[in-house]
């Protein structure tokens, strides 16, 4: 008997996910535990394994579709077994309106068909289930301006073939190359100043947007800036570079900054905290999990290095590299994006000097690092050219006062300017 597998809750509070890539197609044999789809949710791409073996009878969505938790995404059974059309839950009915690229025109056309409004279209009932067509056939349909929803497939299990698309194109008699181009690029009508392009706010960018709004509307941000003379620290890093290379570790200044921050947090615990609005309690964290912002092609992600206090700079450098690679390849585990107590962002890597980063809710502070500059400083009555690291601290003024934020920054700077203290803390 055919088995319908529904999209499970893959994370805390998950209500929907976007189908990024199918790793199987209808007709394929699948083994129990075999990964069959990649779903994007909460800043990560999750690979879902099959709960049983059998033959893929039907896929419940197209790549790029956003589906609700509880929606059937795959049907598995035996070869040749007939399967009933997938019944879409009520929550999924308005799904096309979320603005999935390439599907924007389908929802209104379906509604127009039900209302018998022009242009008339001889569409099969939408209840027939998701379209079955290989990428090559989908591209051909796009090039010819053919809507796959209007075609009844003649291939195995109702799959749409190349011949089906070519036949539909001939019956149309009117070339429509422009509409599919619009469906892909999603351009909007020109405004009063010129042409524009509309890009759906979805997936990771939507998650980032929601997080930023929540932080700024919940937390009264305040900020402070300062500078640290990191000349000695860079000299220490340079001496440790050979040892790091032997361990095949790329050593940067960031692990040293993390160690300095954790040492400062131990002296100023109110910056390693969160605020429980419901109970009106400040929660001081006795552990130190440091989030590090990573710039990816899809947007900003914040992997969390756990239990930093018990790790040396080499261990931190190795773990940071691994987490960053997973973030950029979108293979990071959801657990690695949670549990942070304080965050560091390095906009100096892109050439920034000072900035006012947004706090990673529900934390109460975030430290920004600018690019290291050469500056003339007075050292024991003499002017010397020194390496200076700009620092920006944003903090929650409900929990931390300005004076305490300055004391915290001073402690961080003390450890950075005397790196021997960092090693003594290990």
Do 229 and 123 have their domain in common?
no
Do 28 and 122 have their domain in common?
no
Buried b (16+ CB within 10 A) or exposed e, 333-370: eeebbbebbbbbbbbbeeebeebebbbbbbbbbbbbbb
Do 177 and 289 have their domain in common?
no
Separation between Cα atoms, residue 317 and residue 14, nearest integer Å: 32
Catalytic residues: 397
Return the pLDDT at 136.
Answer: 67
Do residues 148 and 133 lie in contact, with contact meaning Cβ atoms separated by under 8 Å?
yes
Return the pLDDT at 426.
Answer: 59
Do 183 and 56 have their domain in common?
no
Return the pLDDT at 113.
Answer: 43
Q: Which helix (H) or strand (E) element contains residue 383?
A: strand 382-396
The pLDDT of 32-46, averaged and rounded, is 82
347 Cβ contact list (under 8 Å, min separation 6)? 355, 357, 368, 369, 370
How many domains does the chain contain in total?
3
Do 238 and 147 have their domain in common?
no
- Residue 294 maps to which CATH number? 3.30.559.10
The pLDDT of 305-324, averaged and rounded, is 95
Do residues 361 and 292 lie in contact, with contact meaning Cβ atoms separated by under 8 Å?
no
Q: Which helix (H) or strand (E) element contains residue 185?
A: helix 178-185
Do 6 and 110 have their domain in common?
no
User: In this model, does residue 256 exceed pLDDT 80?
Assistant: yes
Residues of the chain with pLDDT > 70: what percent?
A: 80
Q: What is the CA radius of gyration of the chain?
A: 27
212 belongs to a structural domain? no
Do 104 and 66 have their domain in common?
no
* Domain boundary residue, one of 72, 93, 114: 93
Structure tokens at 310: 């018990």
Do 269 and 309 have their domain in common?
yes
The pLDDT of 299-312, averaged and rounded, is 93
359 belongs to a structural domain? yes
Separation between Cα atoms, residue 291 and residue 341, nearest integer Å: 7
Q: Residue 379: which domain range?
A: 220-424
Do 293 and 420 have their domain in common?
yes
Structure tokens at 199: 């890009």
Beta-carbon count within 10 A of 116 CB: 7
Structure tokens at 177: 């190359």
Return the pLDDT at 294.
Answer: 95
382 belongs to a structural domain? yes
- Per-residue DSSP letters for 162-177? HHHHHHHHHHH-S---
Which position has the higher pLDDT, 208 or 120?
208
134 Cβ contact list (under 8 Å, min separation 6)? 25, 159
24-28, 100-104, 136-140, 318-322 — most confident range: 318-322
* Domain boundary residue, one of 200, 230, 261: 200
304 Cβ contact list (under 8 Å, min separation 6)? 289, 290, 291, 292, 336, 337, 338, 339, 340
The pLDDT of 95-101, averaged and rounded, is 38
333 belongs to a structural domain? yes
252 belongs to a structural domain? yes
- Residue 172 maps to which CATH number? 4.10.320.10
Return the pLDDT at 174.
Answer: 38
Per residue in 387-415, pLDDT (tens digit) is: 999 999 999 999 999 999 999 999 999 99
Residue 286's nearest CA partner among 301, 304, 308, 303 is: 308
192 belongs to a structural domain? yes
418 belongs to a structural domain? yes
Do 284 and 405 have their domain in common?
yes
Do residues 360 and 302 lie in contact, with contact meaning Cβ atoms separated by under 8 Å?
yes
Separation between Cα atoms, residue 64 and residue 20, nearest integer Å: 6
Return the pLDDT at 47.
Answer: 84
The pLDDT of 192-196, averaged and rounded, is 87
* Average pLDDT across the chain, whole number: 83
- The predicted model scores a pTM of 0.65
Which parts of 305-401 fold into alpha helices (H)?
Answer: 313-328
Structure tokens at 191: 């405004």
User: In this model, does residue 297 exceed pLDDT 80?
Assistant: yes
User: In this model, does residue 46 exceed pLDDT 90?
Assistant: no
* Domain boundary residue, one of 136, 165, 200: 200
């Amino acid at each position: 008997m055919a088995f319908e597998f529904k999209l499970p809750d893959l994370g805390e509070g998950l209500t929907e996910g976007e189908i990024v890539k199918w790793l199987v197609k209808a007709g394929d044999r699948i083994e129990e535990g075999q990964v069959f789809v990649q779903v994007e949710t909460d800043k990560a791409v999750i690979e879902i394994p099959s709960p049983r073996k059998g033959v893929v009878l039907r896929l419940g969505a197209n790549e790029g579709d956003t589906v609700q938790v509880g929606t059937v995404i795959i049907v598995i059974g035996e070869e040749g077994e007939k399967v009933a059309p997938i019944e879409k839950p009520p929550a999924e009915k308005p799904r096309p309106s979320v603005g999935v690229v390439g599907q924007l025109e389908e929802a209104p056309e379906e509604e127009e068909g039900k209302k018998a409004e022009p242009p008339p279209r001889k569409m099969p009932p939408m209840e027939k289930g998701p379209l079955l067509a290989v990428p090559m056939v989908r591209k051909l349909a796009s090039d010819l301006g053919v809507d796959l929803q209007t075609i009844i497939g003649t291939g195995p299990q109702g799959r749409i073939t190349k011949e089906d698309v070519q036949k539909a194109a001939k019956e149309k008699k009117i070339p429509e190359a422009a509409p599919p181009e619009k469906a892909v690029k999603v351009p909007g009508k020109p405004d009063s100043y010129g042409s524009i392009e509309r890009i759906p706010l979805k997936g990771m960018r939507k998650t980032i947007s929601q997080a930023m709004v929540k932080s700024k509307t919940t937390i009264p941000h305040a900020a402070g800036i300062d500078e640290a003379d990191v000349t000695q620290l860079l000299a220490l890093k340079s001496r440790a570079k050979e040892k790091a290379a032997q361990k095949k570790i790329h050593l940067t200044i960031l692990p040293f900054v993390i160690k300095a921050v954790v040492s400062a947090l131990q002296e100023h615990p109110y910056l390693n905290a969160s605020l429980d609005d419901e109970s009106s309690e400040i929660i001081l964290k006795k552990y130190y999990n440091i989030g590090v912002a990573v710039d990816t092609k899809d947007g900003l992600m914040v992997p969390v290095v756990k239990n930093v206090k018990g790790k040396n700079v080499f261990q931190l450098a190795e773990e940071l590299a691994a987490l960053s690679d997973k973030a950029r390849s979108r293979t990071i585990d959801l657990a690695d994006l949670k549990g942070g107590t304080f965050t560091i962002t390095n906009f100096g890597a892109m050439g920034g000097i000072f900035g006012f980063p947004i706090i990673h809710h529900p934390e109460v502070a975030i430290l920004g690092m600018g690019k290291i500059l050469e500056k003339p400083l007075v050292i024991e009555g003499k002017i010397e050219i020194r390496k200076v690291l700009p620092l920006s601290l944003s903090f929650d003024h409900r929990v931390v006062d300005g004076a305490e934020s300055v004391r915290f920054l001073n402690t961080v700077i003390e450890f950075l300017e005397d790196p021997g203290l960092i090693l003594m803390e290990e």
